[in-house]
Structure 1
Amino acid sequence: MHTDTERCVRAVRSKDARFDGWFFTAVLTTRIYCRPSCPVVPPKPENMTFYPSAAACQSAGFRACKRCRPDTSPGSPEWNQRADLVARAMRLIADGVVDREGVPGLAARLGYSTRQTERQLLAELGAGPLALARAQRAQTARVLIETTPLPMADVAFASGFASIRTFNDTVREVFALTPSDLRTRATRTAKSHPAAPTTPGTLTLRLPFRAPLAPDNLFGHLVATATPGVEEWRAGAYRRTLRLPYGHGIVALTPRPDHIACRLTLSDLRDLTVATSRCRRMLDLDADPVAIDEQLSADPVLAPLVDKAPGRRVPRTVDEEEFAVRAVLGQQVSTAAARTHAGRLVTAHGEPVDDPEGGLTHLFPTARALAGLDPESLAMPRTRRTTFTTLVSQLADGSLHLGPDSDWVETRARLLALPGFGPWTVDVIAMRALGDPDAFLPTDLGVRQAARELGLPSTPAALTGRAAGWRPWRAYAVQYLWATGSHPINFLPE
């Protein structure tokens, strides 16, 4: 979009928050870059230039605006609605792969050479993987500087910087302030707007999103299907444990009118970026609800549903392998039965965690841990035991990979080849674990019931044909269809 100068200028002049994260405005006279909705008086069009990423702005010598903080805007929806090289790379960079494995590790996961990966990212985003990861590290550093009393040396290494000098230089270059100046400004703001006390070691963040957002079935679905010991609803927040690259964490997510309040407790602060990215992905916060709802509203059957509660999101996951296991546990059983099966696995094979603030007890067990269990201990039909054991063994030995970098077409084919994996299981994994925005569930009982009540075809083949006009947003259409029923997934708990 950043190449459409006229459209970008209109968005900046109208301070249109819908375009935050889609592109960034760099002001040639001040050498500052902003989000489109920046509250300052817009510069003259001839003094504006536009970039597709904050990293591209920084690479071109611009620093972040202190008013609108463009580094904290929602991410581009492009990276979660596409499955090409650039989109998969961006999801992996957000998941911290460059910091942990370097650019060669990123390229290896994508199946391309380092040179090809760098060239395609540079062509589309104006910045290579190192610059993109550097921008992400700068934002993580800012969060730690402003929200914790950690010594600056600890902030630097927790943010992924290799040295204190690089940390200082980057913060000064990106924000035009030293780390100490950033903390001083944040301290003054905190004194004028005191926050609620938090547990030591807990970080409090605001996760932005593009409005509108309908929280009912988003959080309702997560809570209604929650695995005991791993997830819970407490004091108005969805809470769960997180398995992370350097340790574990506990997150509490609370819907607010203009953001999601996020409280993170981490065993290793180096996991902050990854934990935040996975929570955003789980709540589908980088979606473009205006574009999605506009297309779905073109169908006269869906239009009243969209008008009633615009901005529905797809409830996703923080762990693709965990969700695949739970999808198998949920085959042909009730939500309550699936939760019971999952809870037993967690108690028997999950890793214990301490949660002084609530009732979370375990991390969900890894595929490796589940691959070693006795199949006879599973209270399910023999055919489903085979499905379960085949899945976890392939996940454990690496012959099946599920992650933010998964190729949607290839992964669907590999899942369909497994015993006991039919269209419903594959599509629900594609929708909620892989993040395919066009995944569709025409055989799902709730979808078929909603279709029948709305006068849509209720047979899978006919409904699939009728849903062609909803593409590429059929996963969101499913959320609107599910929301017509009285199932508890559609409501926030009291």
Structure 2
Amino acid sequence: MSTVTTAIADLDPESCYAAVKSRDRRFDGVFYTAVRTTGIYCRPSCPARTPAFANVTFHRSAAAAQAAGYRACKRCLPDATPGSPDWDVASNVAGRAMRLIADGVVDREGVEGLAQRVGYTPRHLQRVLTAELGAGPLALARSQRAQTARVLVETTDLSLADVAFAAGFASVRQFNDTIREVYAATPSQLRGRRSGPRTAGALELRLAVRTPYAGRALLGFLAPRAVPGIEVASVRPDGSGSYARTLDLPHGPGTVQLELTDLLEPGTGFVAARFMLHDVRDTAAAVARVRRLLDGDCDPIAVADHFSGDPVLGPLVRRRPGLRVPGHPSGDEMAVRAVVGQQVSVAGARTVVCRLVAEHGRAVDTEVSGLTHLFPDADTIAALDPASLPMPRARGRSLVGLGAALASGEVSLDRGPDRDDVRRLLLALPGIGPWTADYVALRALGHPDVFLPTDLGVKHAMARRPGADPERWRPWRSYALLHLWTSLEDED
């Protein structure tokens, strides 16, 4: 991590102001600039005239700026930035809590439920989040609701009452008061700003990602692994295309369709997403889980800078700028698929998972051709007879044991628990070894520093690159892993 990045992470005023003066988009979402003379807060790259140093303060979160009495800038929309990549690197309590807040846990389970998931008391969690992010869990959840509401008001034809409940507000009055306070506008005034076509019944959203963004490489990873019934992928000749899948959400099923292509303009880009939800209250959860899939909070510039000059990774990064680690919207599903995929090819694992979905998944009606089922839940997996599964008996027992651990809550893959604790619990289950536990950490938990030295693809790529030293690649070894995997395509 560079000296400047470290200083900004510590909210050093001089370093933050330098980023604001240069309108450095790399720090959008990492900190926020509040201007005393105007009463607004902005992202560092805001195109407005740079305020005087004496008139600004810096905040770690939009919620902290709002709690200090500032309103969101109407020009740069600071609450629409990707999340801070620092949360993924540190995996500290604040980062784990923020991922759960984005998923709507506070709205569904309250602060007590959030605290229980991260293993703290509500009071101690309040202290930790206030120290780290400048706001407590209620304020952070309120900021999340306001952002979701603004996007829905400006981009959908939902009634304002439906928007209020879709965003997680307890009442229309609370919704109206929050929007006026955060944006200095009524919901009706926000709706008057929108432009472009709208589709009733669907949520057409643009999900912010830091660029460059290698969308075609992400699709190239997802497409051959797409399981009929729960996933559909379509790849055009240039490598871009669409990916769609079903979502098992807290209040009911849903689907998402993504348009994936390369986004190379520096700054912030947008991935087009079309959601169809059984219950609009699942909007925040659906967006958060799809952002995990997209690895939307990654800082590709920081990753590329770390690998620059490395004789192995440097050329690969320049070949595929903005390569992401494919995440997953469901940790439980990813873990089951990882166990199924032990020591078999991608095509072989896909065939077995397809049978699991067809025989044990829950059928759902969708508007997307090919999407017909939800993935079997943990209770269903736990109740299976290992002898009936199309795999070696020992692996079948491992799969059923994993389902039991997930169903009982012994193992939780919702990104709330500490990653090291999750790995230890997974390794304690029969039939789950380091490759499986680390692959789950890579894709389900969003761990940025996973390496799989025993993976056959990694061994093949490393054999062709003498002198490779994975220890030099910390704390971004997950991205090094993806570059090594994708480099095999260049050798075909």
TM over 0.5: yes
Alignment match, 1:42: 50
Alignment match, 1:479: 482
**CA distance in structure 1 between the aligned counterparts of 2:117 and 2:158, rounded to whole angstroms:** 34
Q: 1:215: how far off?
A: 2.0
**CA distance in structure 2 between the aligned counterparts of 1:487 and 1:267, rounded to whole angstroms:** 42
Alignment match, 2:103: 95
Alignment match, 1:310: 321
**CA distance in structure 1 between the aligned counterparts of 2:459 and 2:421, rounded to whole angstroms:** 27
8 Å CA contact 1:2, 1:51 repeated in 2: no
2:253 paired with 1:245 = no
Name the aligned partner's letter for residue 184 of structure 2.
Answer: A
**CA distance in structure 2 between the aligned counterparts of 1:392 and 1:330, rounded to whole angstroms:** 15
2:274 paired with 1:263 = yes
Give SS of 1:484's match.
Answer: helix
Q: 1:116 is matched with which residue: 110, 121, 124?
A: 124
**CA distance in structure 2 between the aligned counterparts of 1:151 and 1:398, rounded to whole angstroms:** 38
Alignment match, 1:339: 350
8 Å CA contact 2:252, 2:278 repeated in 1: yes
Name the aligned partner's letter for residue 307 of structure 1.
Answer: R
Q: 1:440: how far off?
A: 0.7
Alignment match, 1:202: 202
**CA distance in structure 1 between the aligned counterparts of 2:466 and 2:380, rounded to whole angstroms:** 46
Q: Deviations over 1:280-304 (max 9, x none)?
A: 1111110111111111224222111
CA RMSD of aligned residues (A): 1.6
Q: Which moved more, 1:292-301 or 1:320-329?
A: 292-301
2:28 paired with 1:25 = no
TM-score (norm 1): 0.93
Name the aligned partner's letter for residue 241 of structure 1.
Answer: T
Q: Deviations over 1:199-244 (max 9, x none)?
A: x311111111111112233221112111111111147211000011
8 Å CA contact 1:404, 1:434 repeated in 2: yes
Give SS of 1:150's match.
Answer: coil
Give SS of 1:109's match.
Answer: helix
Name the aligned partner's letter for residue 64 of structure 1.
Answer: A
Q: 2:84 is matched with which residue: 76, 80, 83?
A: 76
Q: 1:67 is matched with which residue: 75, 79, 84?
A: 75
Alignment of 1:448-459 (within 5 A): 448-456=459-467
Alignment match, 1:461: none
Unaligned runs of 5+ residues in structure 2 are: 1-8, 236-240, 264-268
Q: 1:456: how far off?
A: 4.0
Q: Which moved more, 1:165-174 or 1:209-218?
A: 209-218
Alignment match, 1:226: 226
Alignment match, 1:396: 407
Q: Deviations over 1:158-197 (max 9, x none)?
A: 21111222111100010110011111121xxx1xxx33x6
**CA distance in structure 1 between the aligned counterparts of 2:163 and 2:216, rounded to whole angstroms:** 36
Name the aligned partner's letter for residue 81 of structure 1.
Answer: V
Alignment match, 1:214: 214
Q: Deviations over 1:250-289 (max 9, x none)?
A: 0011125331111111111111111111111111110111
Q: 1:2: how far off?
A: 5.8
**CA distance in structure 1 between the aligned counterparts of 2:382 and 2:63, rounded to whole angstroms:** 41
8 Å CA contact 1:219, 1:315 repeated in 2: no
8 Å CA contact 1:2, 1:8 repeated in 2: no
8 Å CA contact 1:266, 1:272 repeated in 2: yes
Q: Which moved more, 1:472-481 or 1:365-374?
A: 365-374
2:66 paired with 1:55 = no
Name the aligned partner's letter for residue 145 of structure 2.
Answer: R
8 Å CA contact 1:246, 1:268 repeated in 2: yes
Alignment match, 2:266: none
Give SS of 2:407's match.
Answer: helix
Name the aligned partner's letter for residue 246 of structure 1.
Answer: H
**CA distance in structure 2 between the aligned counterparts of 1:456 and 1:146, rounded to whole angstroms:** 52
**CA distance in structure 1 between the aligned counterparts of 2:209 and 2:393, rounded to whole angstroms:** 44
8 Å CA contact 1:27, 1:47 repeated in 2: yes
Q: 1:134 is matched with which residue: 133, 142, 166?
A: 142
Give SS of 1:39's match.
Answer: coil
**CA distance in structure 1 between the aligned counterparts of 2:180 and 2:462, rounded to whole angstroms:** 56
8 Å CA contact 1:234, 1:358 repeated in 2: no
2:154 paired with 1:151 = no
**CA distance in structure 1 between the aligned counterparts of 2:386 and 2:393, rounded to whole angstroms:** 9
**CA distance in structure 2 between the aligned counterparts of 1:367 and 1:357, rounded to whole angstroms:** 25
2:327 paired with 1:322 = no
**CA distance in structure 2 between the aligned counterparts of 1:456 and 1:392, rounded to whole angstroms:** 41
**CA distance in structure 1 between the aligned counterparts of 2:260 and 2:16, rounded to whole angstroms:** 30
**CA distance in structure 2 between the aligned counterparts of 1:24 and 1:449, rounded to whole angstroms:** 44
TM-score (norm 2): 0.93
2:388 paired with 1:377 = yes
Alignment match, 2:5: none
Q: Deviations over 1:1-57 (max 9, x none)?
A: 262111111111111111100001111100011111111111112111111100011
How many residue pairs were aligned? 473
Q: Deviations over 1:129-182 (max 9, x none)?
A: 000000000111112211222222222122111122211110001011001111
Give SS of 1:210's match.
Answer: strand
Give SS of 2:452's match.
Answer: coil
**CA distance in structure 1 between the aligned counterparts of 2:409 and 2:383, rounded to whole angstroms:** 15
Alignment match, 1:360: 371
Q: 1:414: how far off?
A: 1.3
**CA distance in structure 2 between the aligned counterparts of 1:301 and 1:215, rounded to whole angstroms:** 23
Alignment match, 1:470: 473
Q: Deviations over 1:71-102 (max 9, x none)?
A: 10111112222222111111111111111111
8 Å CA contact 2:165, 2:281 repeated in 1: yes
